[in-house]
Chains A and B, each alone.
Chain A
């Protein structure tokens, strides 16, 4: 599974930071048509497309290696195990973890958060303790804590958002009370695009002795992340939102915390010794990885990370910031688009939620689809936030490394045409 040539950063920034034409050639799906129109894929916050190197890695694994990891003594098992662990090392490096053993493979970011809620939460959260979340959380970082609070009698408190869609941190000192045991928040909003000041929140939480969990599902794919400089205790993210296959997520945790936690799932692989009436646990990270893992998809995530490393996360961020600034400017110029979230590209990522007149997001998404433009419509797994924003749903366009200004122009022209069409039918 050799790396495809994709060193891309362009020195002359005239046409943007990335050589998009070169990048686009690495993504087979971008060649397809939808309803006779060239696909414009703007649903990257839901999942990103996969470069050829990732697709080939999957085929290569099943064609040439396919074996169970960690247990076999034959050549295939050894190769599979080593590739499986190489991804872990690369992932650890990607987010700045101290060591690979601090990266736990899960099914997705949701499972990573559930792992913390069950293994850490049920041991450390008691009646009267407080869990601090934010008003903009995705259900993935909301429901596990609602369930935990109900079970333990802990209380939930929320960091509010202001009318701009940013966290209002003025009252943070009072929200993070001395009885706060956990502060869990998203680093980038999947609805508003807002980039939250993770370092500042973590520092305040630690001053109160609270543990922190960062939901990085939307941030790790789109900006440089360093869990050590953030000093995050837990960091959850997902492979499929960053060029990798579905079915693989990650939990980063500081070793001293992970070591003190009990397992989440139990069974094969995660044990040290089992007798008929006794079991104790394997070392990190295996303690948290019961059963045969998603070997092929983990292995195929490696070329995704290599791809992002080659492009460079600074360049990814800058490309998306430019695109977002371009798109926001054009959308605001139209005069009939209501945008949710900050409009300054310095404080947000490339997920743009919007409403056009009174056109429902489903109608908008269907009409965009007939023009080959893929967007997301609905509540984006953030029902409480929708209620806070006073809407039942929004349409969301979200960008990644392969999106172009031309695609945004096409999207903008479609908004104009759809509005005209819908007011006349």
Chain B
């Protein structure tokens, strides 16, 4: 329909949207967090199982648009098995990529499908859709550091 849209709705994104990873609920959760974009109504819940600083399993349940759902799905795929420090770095890179900011040279991470989110930066109003799951993740991790049980996040 338009080249511009093709950059946003890439095959990888649509695949994650239609078959979101991490959809399955976990039988136990070390951190439960919720994210919301109040202005648009997107809602997300996230559960993390963490052992010895490694994210062993993750559940992301997102009610939202193709961008927020696929971003959450990619997150679930990429953070599983990674250490909290690695995950924080990935989240930082994704946020910079979405905002169109330069990514520091000293950060080297495996982006995998996440590269597909780059097209979002050309749609400023949609950036917050893609950010929702990442902001929720960072808030969740920080919550653990602060010894709280539950986090609530928003990208607005």
Chain A residues in the interface with B (C-beta under 8 A):
35, 360-363, 366-367, 370-371, 377-379, 383, 386, 392-393, 417-418, 421-422, 425
Contact = CB atoms under 8 A, between A and B. Distances in A.
Chain B, interface size category, equals 20 to 34
B63 A392 contact: yes
Contacts of A422: 9
B9 A425 contact: yes
A386 B39 CA distance: 13
A329 B123 CA distance: 32
Contact of B39 (A370, A371, A378, A418): A378
Contacts, number: 56
A100 B150 CA distance: 54
Interface in B125-150: 125-126, 129
A367 B1 contact: yes
Given A363-B65, A367-B5, 14 more contacts: A35-B2, A361-B65, A362-B42, A362-B65, A362-B126, A363-B67, A366-B123, A366-B126, A367-B1, A379-B41, A392-B63, A418-B1, A425-B6, A425-B14
B4 A392 contact: no
Q: In terms of DSSP, what is the predominant structure of the interface of chain B?
A: mixed
A417 B5 CA distance: 13
B40 interface: yes
A370 B41 contact: no
11 contacts: A361-B40, A361-B65, A379-B40, A386-B41, A392-B64, A393-B41, A417-B1, A418-B1, A422-B9, A425-B10, A425-B14
A370 B5 CA distance: 8
A378 B63 CA distance: 12
Interface in B32-80: 39-43, 63-67
A366 B41 contact: no
A174 B40 CA distance: 35
A370 B1 contact: yes
Contacts of B129: 362
Contact of B40 (A377, A417, A425): A377
Nearest to A417: B1
A417 B1 CA distance: 8
Contact of B4 (A361, A370, A383): A370
8 interchain residue pairs of minimum CB distance: A360-B65, A362-B65, A421-B1, A379-B41, A378-B40, A393-B41, A425-B9, A392-B41
Nearest to B9: A425
Contacts of B8: 366
A421 B1 CA distance: 6
A425 B42 contact: no
Residue of B14, B41, B67, B126 with highest tally of chain A CB at under 10 A: B41
Interface string B17-45: 00000000000000000000001111100
B1 A383 contact: no
B11 interface: yes
Contact of B2 (A362, A370, A379, A383): A370
B11 to A, nearest CB: 7
A379 B41 CA distance: 6
A417 B66 CA distance: 18
A27 B92 CA distance: 45
Given A392-B63, A422-B9, A425-B14, A362 B40 contact: yes
Contacts of B6: 425
Contacts of A393: 40-41
Contacts of A386: 41
A154 to B, nearest CB: 26
B5 A362 contact: no
Nearest to A370: B2
A377 B67 CA distance: 14
Contact of A362 (B11, B14, B67): B67
A423 to B, nearest CB: 10
A367 B14 CA distance: 14
B66 A360 contact: yes
A362 B71 CA distance: 15
A422 B67 CA distance: 13
B39 A425 contact: no
A378 B126 contact: no
A392 B43 contact: yes
Nearest to B14: A425
B147 to A, nearest CB: 31
A129 B60 CA distance: 44
A410 to B, nearest CB: 14
A136 to B, nearest CB: 16
B110 to A, nearest CB: 25
A379 B123 CA distance: 20
Contact of B42 (A392, A418, A421): A392
A62 to B, nearest CB: 30
Nearest to A422: B9
A35 B41 CA distance: 27
Nearest to B123: A366
Contacts of B14: 425
Contacts of A35: 2, 4
Contacts of A417: 1
Contacts of B41: 378-379, 383, 386, 392-393
B40 to A, nearest CB: 4
A112 B117 CA distance: 43
A298 B81 CA distance: 60
